[in-house]
Amino acid sequence: MAELIDPKQFVIVRKRKKYRFALFHNSPLCYEYDAWDSSYRPDAVEIGAGNGQFAVELARRHPDLKYLAVDVKGDRLQNGAHSALQDGLENIRFLRARADQLQDMLAPHSLQQIWLTFPDPFPRRRSAGRRLTHPHFLSIYRTLLAHGLGPMASMYLKHDNRDFFLWSLEQIVADGWHIDELSFDLHESELLHDYKILTTYEKRWLSHGLTTNFVRATPEHS
């Protein structure tokens, strides 16, 4: 077991961020990439999960499924881990890792759902390869999503940036995915309530009058 860190030692010295990292380090639900517990096999993954509250709410609603919230910033994820511990949730874990590391950690064709909730749009053209809907990442998702589970083995994308969303749709179609559900104003649609769970980021932008674009897509397997 890793040596525990006393979060209080960071409170005074700048250190709010270090304090949150200490909370992440100490949580039994949180893992670093190189310390991942391979015995935990998630059914659904949220990539770029931020504070993890979206994944926590899904875990509350679906105790029969196992969830994994992934982000590169552990100081954010500890927020969701705290909520999960308070609620006694046993079907969720939190991982500090990059999206391209998941194929080294999760079994091929093992996931039912991959969620992309408001990923960084990287608006500069030269940064397009970093977008989580770039064909490089789509190939990873295709490898991770299960065969033979019908519409559940899908990727779900929510975003407020229309330009990024349209670009993502182009990549999804060009890469041979099937668009199963689509809305340019999710919260005015009749799509499932699970899709309408609000992220912290989404609450902010909806209050500014923006809409949430949504797509559920399924890869075609040869």
Domain ranges of the chain: 34-219
Give me the CATH code for the 34-219 domain, please.
3.40.50.150
Q: Is the dihedral of CA 159, 162, 168, 170 positive or negative?
A: positive
Give the global pTM.
Answer: 0.89
Arithmetic mean of pLDDT, 123-127:
94
Q: How far apart are CA 28 and CA 81, in angstroms?
A: 9
User: What pLDDT score does 17 carry?
Assistant: 64
Residues known to be catalytic: 120
Q: How far apart are CA 141 and CA 108, in angstroms?
A: 9
Which residues, in sequence order, are CB contacts of 86 under 8 Å at separation 6+? none
Which residues, in sequence order, are CB contacts of 119 under 8 Å at separation 6+? 47, 48, 131, 132, 133, 159
User: What pLDDT score does 16 carry?
Assistant: 63
> 25 pLDDT band (50/70/90 cuts)?
confident
b vs e for 169-183, b when ≥16 Cβ sit within 10 Å of the residue's Cβ? bebbeebebeeebbb
Q: What angle do CA 121, 157, 214 make, to 5 degrees?
A: 105
For residue 209, pLDDT beyond 50: yes
Q: How far is CA 218 from the centre of its chain?
A: 17
Q: Report the chain's mean pLDDT, rounded to a whole number.
A: 90
Query: Residue 57 corresponds to which tokens in the numbers above?
Result: 């709410």
